[in-house]
């Protein structure tokens, strides 16, 4: 009798747990609801054409950002930079008027006056990867995306657009001595500030000779 | 006089981890004023909760003279399975059926996954006589591979506030992971000190042959212990995933080393039969305090690893010296 009681209690407990643990639906109904997969290309195209220009127009001058960070790092990082991930890396959308010093296979070195000397900046023209543009633009909120895959696909699309529509014509036209206006994303390591040849991932490039 | 010295020496040995912890805390309190604060204490406890869960299971295994190298990978796989069940459920196209999981169901699913992986470890060790080191090393790779397959190498994030509460919430001012770790420890202490199973674990670790001859079903005890440790690794995985609000395919990398370190520093003998869950808790706290102290003192992460390794080595040397004296 005691044995049967034990079995009954066990079965009842398992049944209750199962009842509280799972629910059933028709697969076809669930599929119909979740059929709309994330369209990274469409999303990126929309923010590229409708929202990014405003962000580029309001980008901070690189030299101003450096000065702000050197004067009050916490405040400057808070006001001018953005990051979607935890860590020391922050991204900012910056602008600079500079002169092309050297055209390399993978980048273009430009110079601009800063303090009492010249600051050399590397503009990436070949390897445009990572999340710098997406994060610096502040147009994407991590909370809107159910998985990191979708979030990363936005970066991929943004980088692809830069490679195909911005860099291709620029690389064909640019030469040493050209005056350029560069607007793009910069990644800054909060813990190890280094302004020696910072790298910009360009989003807008104009030759203004 | 000799008897008194012996009692003193025994007491010292019994409380060696606690004494080491007190010395460490005292030194760190003098070196940085950020250390001895309530916030930092809770922070340390939150950080070590996962290691306590894993190391508690590891203690039971080590007490049977075994080892489990797979806990880090099991943690990652079970964390991923839990959030996979929670977010995606299970699809059965043949029956046009979708099985959805509530938070409770997903957690139970993750724990069951850990239990089964641990059971497989125990089964391989007992039925096929595979050395625990090799069997669990194989499971380390298998579970990591399955994690990559399951997550397709990408993190799964945005798991909802309810789930995140497990990792970052608080109850009565104490972080939830700390409550979970406390329950795990009390359960393990109860098992080791108040049940037949506990006595069997110590007996197997002390002398497996003698335990077998005295009628203990060694295989069953070992399989249960490995399964239990697997479930605790899964619990650790659920906490880590909830804390990060994301199932990372590379979560739990080298967590097994921290768990083994906690067990060893806590005075459990790697040859089995000697040690306690409380000792392991002390070991985990020592590692946590050491990590925290080194971070507060701005010591380079590279040096932190060197120091941690040194402490583990020192603990083993002290333990061996004690064994020789005995």
Q: State pLDDT tens for residues B17-39.
A: 788 888 888 888 888 888 888 88
The answer as to whether B147 is a domain residue is yes
CA distance B297 to B48: 19
Q: What is the band of B146 on the pLDDT scale with cuts at 50, 70, 90?
A: very high
Give the model's pLDDT for residue B127. Answer: 92
Q: Which of A200, A190, A194 is nearest to A76 (CA)?
A: A190
**Hey, what's the torsion of the CAs at B191, B196, B197, B198, to 10 degrees?**
50
Residue A28: closest C-alpha in chain B: B96
B2 pLDDT higher than 80: no
The answer as to whether B15 is a domain residue is no
Mean pLDDT of B216-229: 94
CA distance A152 to A134: 9
The answer as to whether B24 is a domain residue is no
Q: Which of A54, A95, A53, A75 is nearest to A190 (CA)?
A: A75
Q: What is the band of B160 on the pLDDT scale with cuts at 50, 70, 90?
A: confident
Q: What is the band of B9 on the pLDDT scale with cuts at 50, 70, 90?
A: low
Q: What percent of chain B has pLDDT over 70?
A: 94
CATH classification of the domain holding B50: 1.10.3470
Q: Tell me: the pLDDT tens digits for B107-141?
A: 999 999 999 999 999 999 999 989 999 999 999 99
CA distance A159 to A130: 8
The answer as to whether B274 is a domain residue is yes
Chain-chain contact of B102 with A23 (C-beta, under 8 angstroms): yes
CATH number given to A40-207: 2.40.50.420
A115 pLDDT higher than 90: no
The answer as to whether B278 is a domain residue is yes
Give the model's pLDDT for residue A178. Answer: 93
A161 pLDDT higher than 90: yes
Residues of chain B found within 8 Å of residue A142, distances taken between Cβ atoms = 157-158
Give the model's pLDDT for residue A32. Answer: 77
The answer as to whether B283 is a domain residue is yes
Mean pLDDT of B156-170: 83
Give the model's pLDDT for residue B35. Answer: 83
Tell me the sheet residues that pair with A99: A111, A179
Residues with Cβ within 8 Å of residue A34, at least 6 apart in sequence: none
Mean pLDDT of B73-92: 91
Q: What is the band of A143 on the pLDDT scale with cuts at 50, 70, 90?
A: confident
The shortest C-alpha distance from B57 to chain A (Å) reads: 24
Contacts with A, B 67-96, CB within 8 Å: 87, 89, 91-93, 95-96
Q: Which of B243, B239, B208, B237 is nearest to B222 (CA)?
A: B208
ipTM of the complex in this document: 0.73
Give the model's pLDDT for residue A110. Answer: 95
A146 pLDDT higher than 70: no
Residue ranges per structural domain of chain A: 40-207
The answer as to whether B12 is a domain residue is no
CA distance B188 to B70: 20
Can you count the helices (H) and strands (E) in chain B? Answer: 14, 6
Residues of chain A found within 8 Å of residue B84, distances taken between Cβ atoms = none
When CB atoms are compared, the residue of B95, B100, B152 closest to A22 is B100
Count of CB atoms within 10 A of residue A70's CB? 11
Give the model's pLDDT for residue B105. Answer: 93
CA distance A123 to A184: 9
Q: Is A143 an 8 Å CB contact of chain B?
A: yes
The residue segments making up the domain with residue B273 are 34-318
Helix, strand, coil distribution of chain A in percent, nearest 5: 45, 30, 25
CA distance B240 to B237: 5
Longest Cα–Cα distance of chain B, Å, equals 80
Rounded to 10°, the helix B38-63/B196-206 angle is 70
More confident residue, B292 or B15: B292
Chain-chain contact of A17 with B104 (C-beta, under 8 angstroms): yes
Q: What is the band of A92 on the pLDDT scale with cuts at 50, 70, 90?
A: very high
CA distance A140 to A134: 7
Contact yes or no for B202/B225 (Cβ under 8 A): no
Q: What DSSP state is assigned to residue A206?
A: E
Mean pLDDT of B274-290: 91
Mean pLDDT of B200-209: 92
More confident residue, A100 or A4: A100
Q: Tell me: the pLDDT tens digits for A9-55?
A: 999 998 988 888 889 988 888 877 766 677 888 999 999 999 999 99
Q: Which of A67, A90, A86 is nearest to A77 (CA)?
A: A90
Q: Tell me: the pLDDT tens digits for B26-80?
A: 888 888 888 888 888 888 898 899 999 999 999 999 999 999 999 999 999 999 9
Test mutation, B89, B103, B301, chain A, max A CBs within 10 A: B89
Mean pLDDT of B94-104: 88
DSSP track, B85-140: HHHH-EEEGGGTEEEEE-HHHHHHHHHHHHHHHHHHHHHHHHHS---HHHHHHHHH
Mean pLDDT of B168-174: 87
CA distance B20 to B293: 14
Task: Write down the mean pLDDT value for chain B.
Answer: 88
Count of CB atoms within 10 A of residue A181's CB? 13
3-state secondary structure of B32: coil
The answer as to whether B312 is a domain residue is yes
Contact yes or no for B260/B284 (Cβ under 8 A): no
- A-B interface: how many C-beta pairs under 8 angstroms? 62
**Hey, what's the torsion of the CAs at B238, B239, B240, B242, to 10 degrees?**
80
Contact yes or no for A154/A40 (Cβ under 8 A): yes
Sign of CA pseudo-dihedral B35, B302, B236, B202: negative
Give the model's pLDDT for residue A71. Answer: 92
Q: Is A148 an 8 Å CB contact of chain B?
A: yes
More confident residue, B107 or B14: B107
Give the model's pLDDT for residue B182. Answer: 95
Please state the three-class secondary structure of B138-205 as a single string.
Answer: HHHHHHHHHHHHHHCCCCEECCCHHHHHHHHCEECCEEHHHHHHHHHHHHHHHHHHHCHHHHHHHHHH
Q: How many domains does chain B have?
A: 1
Q: What is the band of B239 on the pLDDT scale with cuts at 50, 70, 90?
A: very high
Contact yes or no for A107/A123 (Cβ under 8 A): yes
Q: Which of B87, B109, B112 is nearest to B98 (CA)?
A: B87
Give the model's pLDDT for residue B119. Answer: 96
Give the model's pLDDT for residue B15. Answer: 75
Contact yes or no for B55/B72 (Cβ under 8 A): no
Give the model's pLDDT for residue B323. Answer: 67
Contact yes or no for A206/A181 (Cβ under 8 A): yes
Q: What is the band of B316 on the pLDDT scale with cuts at 50, 70, 90?
A: confident
B321 pLDDT higher than 90: no
Q: Is A147 an 8 Å CB contact of chain B?
A: yes
Mean pLDDT of B218-229: 95
When CB atoms are compared, the residue of B97, B104, B155 closest to A21 is B104
Backbone angles phi, psi at A119, to 5 degrees: -100, 125
In this structure, of A131-145, B134-148, B150-164, B234-248, the range with the lowest mean pLDDT score is: B150-164
């Amino acid at each position: 009798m005691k044995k049967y009681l034990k079995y009954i209690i066990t079965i009842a407990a398992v049944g209750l747990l199962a009842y509280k643990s799972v629910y059933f639906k028709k697969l076809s109904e669930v599929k119909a609801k979740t059929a709309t997969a994330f369209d990274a290309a469409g999303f990126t195209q929309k923010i590229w054409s409708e929202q990014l220009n405003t962000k580029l127009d309001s980008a901070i001058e690189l030299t101003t950002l450096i000065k702000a960070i050197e004067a009050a790092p916490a405040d400057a990082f808070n006001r001018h930079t953005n990051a979607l991930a935890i860590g020391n890396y922050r991204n900012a959308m910056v602008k600079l008027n500079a002169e092309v010093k050297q055209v390399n296979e993978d980048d273009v070195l430009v110079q601009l006056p800063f303090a009492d000397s010249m600051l050399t900046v590397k503009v990436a023209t070949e390897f445009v990867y990572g999340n710098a543009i997406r994060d610096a633009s502040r147009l994407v909120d991590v909370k809107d995306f159910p998985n990191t895959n979708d979030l990363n696909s936005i970066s991929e699309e943004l980088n692809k657009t830069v490679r195909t529509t911005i860099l291709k014509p620029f690389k064909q036209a640019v030469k040493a001595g050209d005056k350029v206006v560069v607007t793009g994303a910069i990644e800054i390591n909060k813990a190890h500030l280094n302004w020696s040849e910072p790298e910009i991932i360009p989003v807008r490039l104009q030759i203004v000779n | 006089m000799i008897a008194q010295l012996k009692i003193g020496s025994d007491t010292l040995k019994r409380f060696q981890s606690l004494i080491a912890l007190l010395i460490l805390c005292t030194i760190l309190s003098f070196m940085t004023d950020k250390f001895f604060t309530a916030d930092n204490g809770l922070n340390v406890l939150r950080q070590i909760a996962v290691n306590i869960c894993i190391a508690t299971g590891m203690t039971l295994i080590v007490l049977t003279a075994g080892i489990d190298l797979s806990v880090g990978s099991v943690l990652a796989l079970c964390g991923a399975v839990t959030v996979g069940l929670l977010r995606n459920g299970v699809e059965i196209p043949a029956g046009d059926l979708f099985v959805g999981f509530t938070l409770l169901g997903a957690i139970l699913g993750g724990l069951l996954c850990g239990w089964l992986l641990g059971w497989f470890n125990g089964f391989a060790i007992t039925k096929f006589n595979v050395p625990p080191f090799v069997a669990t090393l194989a499971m380390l790779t298998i579970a990591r591979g399955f994690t990559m397959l399951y997550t397709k190498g990408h993190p799964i994030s945005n798991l909802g506030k309810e789930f995140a509460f497990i990792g970052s919430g608080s109850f009565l001012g104490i972080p939830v992971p700390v409550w979970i770790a406390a329950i795990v420890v009390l359960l393990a202490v109860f098992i080791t000190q108040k049940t037949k199973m506990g006595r069997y674990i110590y007996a197997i670790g002390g002398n497996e042959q003698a335990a077998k001859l005295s009628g203990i079903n060694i295989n069953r005890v070992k399989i249960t212990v490995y399964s239990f440790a697997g479930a605790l690794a899964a619990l650790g995985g659920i906490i880590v995933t909830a804390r990060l609000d994301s199932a990372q395919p590379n979560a739990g990398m080298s967590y097994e080393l921290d768990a083994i370190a906690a067990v060893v520093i806590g005075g459990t003998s790697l040859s089995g039969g000697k040690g306690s869950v409380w000792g392991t808790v002390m070991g985990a706290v020592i590692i946590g305090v050491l990590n925290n102290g080194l971070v507060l003192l701005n010591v380079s992460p590279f040096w932190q690893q060197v120091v941690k390794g040194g402490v583990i080595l020192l603990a083993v040397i002290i333990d061996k010296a004690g064994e020789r004296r005995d």
